[in-house]
Amino acid sequence: MGRQASTYTRVVAFIIRDGALLLIPPWENDGRAQRLWNAPGGALEPYESIEEALIRETFEETGAEIEPLGLAFITQEPSRPENQGNKSNGPAMSIEVCCYARLLSDDSALRSEHPYIPPPEWVPLERVSSLPTLPFCLRGWAKWVVKRGRMPMGVPIVSVQLGADVDALCASFERFGD
């Protein structure tokens, strides 16, 4: 039997209001950088539910209180262990559970997790569809929503290969259908 790969699971919150998505802008600090626009989210803690993780991670990263509403899509991709803290089992699978959420607090509560990270911003979906984003498939999802004027029905599952072309990932939403 071969080595068993570990699985790293993240949750991501899509908080939408008036045609805009709440995103964390790119940032740089002392040689560390995040060059992508991020939807709030992060890793599940041991024994934590997806809903609990969405609420906790969104609050930690944005100060926003949310109500998780439902599943938007799931991505899976091979991930290098050094990128997620698990160096013992070789290559790992990264799974992102992307969910819709409703904002319960008002904008005055919005703040960043660290002083060097800009506060979250409401970004129009038309603009999201052209930004470098994390998760990578967020751009394709935004294009789908803008083109059709509604959220996808059902839940797409997107499989990603290392080194995959982001535009090809975005196109996977076009195959999802109407």
Task: Tell me the C-alpha to C-alpha distance, in Å, between residue 101 and each of 17, 67, 134, 145, 171.
Answer: 10, 5, 17, 16, 24
Q: What is the mean pLDDT of residues 5-26?
A: 91
Structure tokens of 34? Answer: 């995040």
Contact 48, 79 (CB under 8 A): no
Cis peptide before 68 (omega within 30 of 0): no
Specify whether the CB–CB gap between 157 and 73 falls below 8 A: yes
Q: Which two tokens stand for residue 145?
A: 């929503």
The residue that leads in pLDDT, 120 or 174, is 120
pTM of this prediction?
0.81
What is the pLDDT confidence band of residue 157, given thresholds at 50, 70 and 90? Answer: low
Residue 25 has pLDDT above 90, yes or no: yes
Task: Give me the domains of the chain, ranges plus CATH numbers.
Answer: 7-121+156-162 (3.90.79.10)
